[in-house]
Amino acid sequence: MRLALDAMGGDHAPQVVVEAALRSARSASFDIALVGQPQVVEPLLAPHRPLPANLAFEPAPDVVAMDGHPGTAVRQHPQSSIGVGIGLVKAGAADAFVSAGNTGAVMAFAVLKLGRLPGVERPALGSVFPTERDRCLVLDAGANADCRASYLLQFALMGAAYMAGVYGVCNPRVGLLNIGEEPTKGNQLALEAHRLLRESGLNFIGNVEGRDVPRGAADVVVTDGFSGNVLIKTAEGVGEAAGNLIRQQVTARWHYKLAAAVLRPAFRAVARRMDYAEYGGAPLLGVPGVVIIGHGRSNARAIERGLAVAAQAVESGVVGTIARSIRGQASAPAASAD
């Protein structure tokens, strides 16, 4: 198995990516193709030569800025690390692409170059969200701001396949993000999606509210890309605000500071539990290939987790499962008409 890794993607690239590539190559069983600008990446690799046998450098002369426009990136930077990395997947020279770069650009390159799996209406970005129990997948996390109910049904099918394949969740509980528990609650989209999901054959547990998601009420939470993005970013913001408030308070008096020093490992355990870096990045689902997008602020550990998650997705054949699941959905009405 060979994974393409974007050396240029992320706020702390290329340093943390090179670090993650070297560490993963030493400990993991997959091959890594590190894709990036030679003049930037080569000097970072030089002190580590000879490189591990399962780590190779793939030159990409260009780069996409973290805040660049996705459409412009695709048109003007085909030889960027993202363009070249996705190209390796397209050519069969890599099984997956992992990047902590410009999310929109990775999605745009992936959809343009790889296309969509047959029958997929819209590829979706999933976000792995920490819960009190363990984690859930929220999708769409922002790829599709306006959605139809039929998209949400497909998000549910794809998300369930991903959670089963990558995280070993058996018969994942699918919840529909909504603003009330009753099936009659919500906007037009949610009302229609509720009906489709109820008839889907999935383990649909009904509506879940924003409060239920962090509690771990569902393994897969489906919604449109606008609400999904609001959910994820609000959770991030509240976590940060809570952290800042606690820091302010516990440093306000000297005896607090002493007590806080004792509790440091406990605080750290909580922060790690709520940290995106532990969860391995956001999968782009519905394309013929494994594409994992890390948080822009990814550290080396987050990139390593992204590689491990990508390997697990390849290993478990998630793309094939999704393709079969979407095919099954397409043939379901015909079958029931027999």
Residues that bind a copy of itself (CB under 8 A): 131-132, 142, 145-146, 177, 179, 185-188, 190, 209-215, 223-227, 229-242, 244-246, 249-250, 252, 255-256, 258-260, 262-263, 266-267, 269-270, 273-274
Quote the least distance from Cβ 71 to a copy of itself, whole Å. 11
Using an 8 Å Cβ cutoff, are 82 and 112 in contact?
A: no
Quote the least distance from Cβ 142 to a copy of itself, whole Å. 5
Using an 8 Å Cβ cutoff, are 214 and 132 in contact?
A: yes
Residue 153 has which token pair? 């049904």
Cβ nearer to a copy of itself, comparing 57 with 226 = 226
Quote the least distance from Cβ 287 to a copy of itself, whole Å. 21
d(CA 179, CA 193): 14
Strand pairing class (135-139; 2-6): unpaired
Cβ nearer to a copy of itself, comparing 263 with 330 = 263
Cβ nearer to a copy of itself, comparing 30 with 155 = 155
Exposure string of 37-66, with b = 16+ CB inside 10 Å and e = fewer, is beebbeebbeeeeebbebbebbebebbbeb
Cβ nearer to a copy of itself, comparing 106 with 161 = 106
In a 13 Å sphere around the CA of 237, the CA atoms on its Cβ side amount to: 6
Quote the least distance from Cβ 126 to a copy of itself, whole Å. 15
Cβ neighbours of residue 34 closer than 8 Å, sequence gap 6 or more = 5, 7, 17, 18, 21, 41, 45, 55, 56, 57, 58
Cβ nearer to a copy of itself, comparing 258 with 330 = 258
Cβ nearer to a copy of itself, comparing 21 with 217 = 217
Cβ nearer to a copy of itself, comparing 242 with 332 = 242
Residue 141: C-alpha distances to residues 127, 216, 224, 281, 300 (Å): 6, 17, 8, 12, 23
Quote the least distance from Cβ 177 to a copy of itself, whole Å. 7
Strand pairing class (96-99; 124-130): unpaired
Quote the least distance from Cβ 260 to a copy of itself, whole Å. 7
Using an 8 Å Cβ cutoff, are 151 and 329 in contact?
A: no
SS3 65: coil
Quote the least distance from Cβ 132 to a copy of itself, whole Å. 5
Cβ nearer to a copy of itself, comparing 93 with 179 = 179
Quote the least distance from Cβ 133 to a copy of itself, whole Å. 10
Exposure string of 69-86, with b = 16+ CB inside 10 Å and e = fewer, is ebeebbeebbebbbbbbb
Cβ nearer to a copy of itself, comparing 42 with 240 = 240
Quote the least distance from Cβ 69 to a copy of itself, whole Å. 9
- Pick from 151, 106, 141, 94: nearest CA to 289: 94
